[in-house]
Every structure is written in structure tokens, then in C-alpha cells.
Amino acid sequence: MSKFSITEQYTEKLEKPLLEELKQKAKNLKDDLTPEEISKLEPRLFSRVEYNQGEAEKVGYSDYSYWRGTLRMFLKDKVAIVTLCILVVVILFTLLQPLMPGQMDPNLINNDPTTGMQISNQKPNATFWFGTNSIGQDLWSRLWAGTRTSLFIGLSVALIQTVVGIGMGVLWGYIRMLDFFFTELYNVVSNIPTTIILILASYIMRPSVSTIIIAMCITGWLGMARFIRNQVLIIRDRDFNLASRCLGTPTWRLILKNLLPQMVSIITLRMSLAIPGAIGSEVFLTYIGWACRWKRHPSATWSIRGAC
């Protein structure tokens, strides 16, 4: 006889008296309501409970959402909320400033109606809030026009680099045959100074806003692609991806449903950091005269504002 069988016998001996005692107590207990009181209750106050397999599976289910959790954490940070409000106000004012009354054309050269001379280098006054530059243009209007142009360049470059970088990075990390080609391309391009690439691209093409965007996107996507490739290599062979592949899930669905959602926060961070980087490169190129040359090109940017 094993120890288990002995233990089982003693357990049964202890259970039987306990069950009998509980049954006896249950018989002696009275209902809260008498049968007469139960018959007086209105049927409309009650509904029949039926078994539902779908509802039963929801027991213990948490409706946690990634974006809901992120928003909840963000709303707890007062500094982040204040900073976001300031940013939204500045962007809205930048977009609505040309529609406000009393605003001047940023490219208009103002002349004195009496002498016909340019109103150049004026100090701030009621007419020109920030004064004028050396050729008589209103600095207030050019400041906000330059903000619009620089934000457009920054957002365009960041969006293009992110979209192209994600696409190439996923292919780079997921398709093993492409790894050698993209790795060698990255090694070659990364050894060339970015400033030389930007100046060379701006020299070949006509100076314009589109020239700046193209020049920064020619090789700028490689950094994002390299980063996405490393993340894909980390996530690609995890258990849930292996299980999906074994079940015959298409590759495009694996990428869209399993890989990219795991990198949303990282992609958002990289894209947000690409915007000031693009604006800084635009300021440098324009200031040295290789993009929007401020004496020839009518578009106002922050770098042209500095050159004036």
C-alpha cells in the first residue's frame, strides 16, 4: 500500500462527516422570503438567465488598450500637457497668420510713398511689429512664413524617411537574402560625411524647397531602415511569430500584425527626432547658399531670416 492510498482513505473518512453536517445545516436553514412573499413579487423585475458561451469566455478579460494606456500616462504628466498646448498654439498661429487682418506679404518690398525709397532696417513700430530687413520686407510676416516653410520641410523629410525606412528596414530584416546588399550599402554611405552628400545634391539640382527635401531624403532613410532592421531581427523569431508561420499566416500579415505593432513607440520617437534634424540641415544648407539662396529665392525660411 502506498502513502498516497493511505492519505486518500483518511481524507474520505474526514469528508463524509463534514458533508453530512453541512447537508443537515442546509435543511434547517430558512429562506429569506416565505412562499407567500415570493408569489407577490412582480415578474417584470426578473429575467431568466441563460448560458451564453461568448459571455462566459469574457470572464476575467481585461479591455486594456495600448493607446488608451499611453494616453492615460500622458495625461498624468502636467509638463507634457503644457508643452503640447504651447506647440499646438504656435502651429495654429503659424497656419492662420496669413488670414489675420493687417498682415503683410512676406515677399513684398515696402517703399516710402513720399520718396519712393525702400523702408529698410526699420525699428519695430506700429506698422512693422518686428521692423524691416535690409531690402524693406516686413520681418514679422517673414518670421511666420519661414516657420511654415521650415515646418513643411521638417515634416515632409521626417515622413518620407520614416515611410521609406520602415519599408526597406522590414525587407532588410525579414528577407535574409537582402541583408548582405543593404548592409554593404549602409557601410558605404555611412562612411561619407552627410554634409558632402547634401551639398553635392543641392549643387546638382536647382535651389528650392523641393531640392532640400530630396537632398535630405536621398540617404536619410538608411538610418531609419537600419534601426527597423535591428528591431525586426529581435522580434522575428519569437514564439508568437514562429507559431503564426507554422499556421500558414501570410508574410504581409505577419509584418503588419506581428512586427510593426511592436515598434510603434520606437518609430514615433525616431520620427519626432527626425523633424528638428531636418530643420537643422535645412538651416545649414540655406545659410551657406546651397539650397534656398535668400537673395534669389522668394521663399522665406528660418535660415533666410538669419541671413537677412
Question: pTM, whole model, 2 decimals?
Answer: 0.68
Task: Write the DSSP symbol of residue 118.
Answer: B
Q: List Cβ neighbours of 219 (8 Å cut-off, separation of 6 or more).
A: 189, 194, 197
Cα separation, 201 vs 188, whole angstroms: 17
Give the model confidence (pLDDT) of 51-108 as tens digits: 776 666 665 555 666 777 778 888 888 998 999 999 899 889 888 888 888 788 777 7
Q: What pLDDT digit, counting tens, does each position of 217-241 carry?
A: 888 888 888 889 888 888 888 888 8
C-alpha cell at 95: 497656419
Q: Determine phi and psi for 135, rounding to 5 degrees.
A: -115, 15
Q: How far is CA 55 from the centre of its chain?
A: 35
| Domains in the chain with CATH codes | 149-308 (1.10.3720.10)
Distance, CA of 256 to CA of 248 (rounded, Å): 15
Cell numbers linked to 290: 546651397
Residues 305 and 308: their CA atoms lie apart, in Å, by 5
Cβ neighbours, 10 Å, residue 243: 11
